[in-house]
């Protein structure tokens, strides 16, 4: 088979890149080892900043029709203190985000890629990515074991943390402190709070936290992030999950399915481009899921990449120099985003610091609005960073507070 671009991975990053490229008349082939719809461990929250991107892709109506919930605020409960952050409504996007299962979202995006003209190969596992002087060859196997070779001018690595393209390039660097997510869906809301509020709740205790958000069909996404040592100390991940998450609103409340464990150790690529190759989504940058920005980063990086690729291929090039514009826009936007995320992580897991930050957020509406806008992807992180947000956040966490 031949294509202009092969996209390895059919999740939000890969599918949305394929939509954009196919609309430009570029021959695109998407390869994924799964058959869609399929479940995927994830917080399943699309921040408010993702809504304009869904509109650009032409899938917002389908997302709403699938039953996506609108969440207009984040509630943070940390070490005995609590604060609610409302998403601001004057940043060029709706003041709410969507919450929708990956089972539904990914299928919607992949169907849109097909409709745009992309070829989609499901249940095809990539075995090798070979870079040759004038082409790249993606070697895969179909579900029945038949070999398949796809020749292309360029390959996009959109296969997540374990992306075959990223592995072939050897560019990923993982943080030393490994972290794991334990996730299941519930029919009833866990915890003491009742109701069905349109809110994403984050409960922090020590070095772990629990995230709870409603999704479609009256269900709840309930996940907790723990350290490697905590996971090693408990031979049954399900038992650890139940102990960390706590009880439901009724004695019968609990997970509807087996608990799934996934690696959520932050990672980043030393660079995201090479000759005839480019990395997007989690394959290039994975932040701690506490800030809930993973799907936005996937959609945003795909938009950046597609624009650069279309220009490069139109000029007859696919080398690293022709793709350098992608590195530049990524650095401008994502480096600051990573810094903001790390600054928040630096204080929120420490009891005294977290209580100090929450107290400051309660007393300083401007600081609270800045944090809500940043975590909601409603304002560029470089603007947040340049205004001294991280310094103010750290100062709040370190400031002595009266009893």
Model pLDDT, residue 193: 47
Q: Which residues pair with 278 in a beta bridge?
A: 156, 273
Number of H helices, E strands in the chain: 13, 21
Q: How far is C-alpha 63 from the geometric centre of its chain's CA atoms?
A: 17
Model pLDDT, residue 287: 86
pTM of structure: 0.93
Indicate the DSSP class of residue 248.
Answer: B
Q: Scanning the structure block, which residue is given the tokens 């579900």?
A: 143
User: Closest Cα to residue 288, out of 263, 269, 270?
Assistant: 263
Q: Are 31 and 3 in contact (CB under 8 A)?
A: no
Model pLDDT, residue 390: 63
Model pLDDT, residue 319: 96
For the chain, which ranges sit under pLDDT 50?
193-194, 248-250, 402-403
Model pLDDT, residue 385: 62
With vertex at residue 305, the alpha carbon angle to CA 269 and CA 278, rounded to the nearest 5 degrees, is: 45
């Amino acid at each position: 088979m031949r294509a202009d671009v092969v996209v390895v991975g059919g999740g939000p990053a890969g599918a949305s890149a394929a939509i954009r490229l196919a609309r430009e008349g570029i021959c695109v082939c998407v390869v994924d080892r799964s058959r869609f719809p399929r479940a995927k461990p994830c917080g399943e929250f699309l921040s408010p900043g993702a809504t304009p991107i869904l509109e650009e892709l032409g899938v917002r109506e389908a997302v709403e029709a699938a039953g996506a919930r609108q969440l207009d605020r984040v509630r943070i409960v940390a070490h005995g203190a609590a604060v609610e952050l409302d998403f601001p409504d004057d940043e060029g996007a709706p003041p709410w985000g969507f919450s929708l299962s990956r089972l539904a979202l990914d299928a919607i995006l992949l169907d849109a890629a097909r409709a745009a003209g992309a070829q989609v190969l499901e249940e095809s596992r990539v075995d090798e990515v070979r870079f040759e002087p004038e082409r790249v060859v993606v070697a895969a196997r179909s579900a029945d074991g038949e070999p398949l070779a796809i020749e292309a001018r360029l390959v996009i690595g959109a296969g997540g943390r374990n992306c075959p393209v990223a592995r072939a390039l050897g560019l990923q660097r993982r943080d030393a402190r490994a972290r794991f997510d334990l996730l299941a869906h519930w029919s009833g809301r866990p915890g003491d709070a009742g109701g069905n509020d349109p809110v994403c709740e984050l409960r922090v205790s020590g070095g772990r936290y629990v995230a709870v958000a409603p999704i479609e069909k009256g269900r709840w996404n309930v996940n907790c992030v723990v350290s490697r040592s905590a996971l090693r100390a408990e031979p049954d991940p399900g038992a650890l999950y139940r102990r960390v998450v706590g009880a439901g609103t009724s004695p019968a409340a609990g997970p509807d399915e087996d608990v799934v464990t996934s690696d959520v150790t932050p990672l980043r690529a030393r660079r995201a481009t090479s000759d005839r190759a480019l990395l997007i989504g989690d394959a290039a940058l994975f932040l701690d899921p506490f800030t809930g920005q993973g799907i936005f980063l996937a959609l945003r990086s795909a938009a950046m990449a597609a624009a650069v690729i279309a220009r490069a291929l139109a000029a007859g090039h696919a080398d690293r120099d022709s793709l350098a514009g992608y590195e530049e826009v990524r650095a401008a936007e994502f480096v600051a985003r990573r810094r903001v995320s790390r600054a928040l992580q630096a204080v929120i897991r420490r009891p005294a610091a977290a209580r100090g930050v929450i107290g400051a957020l309660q007393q300083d509406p401007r600081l609270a609005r800045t944090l809500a806008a940043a975590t909601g992807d409603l304002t560029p992180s470089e603007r947040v960073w340049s205004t001294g947000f991280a310094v103010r956040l750290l100062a709040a966490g370190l400031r002595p507070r009266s009893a």
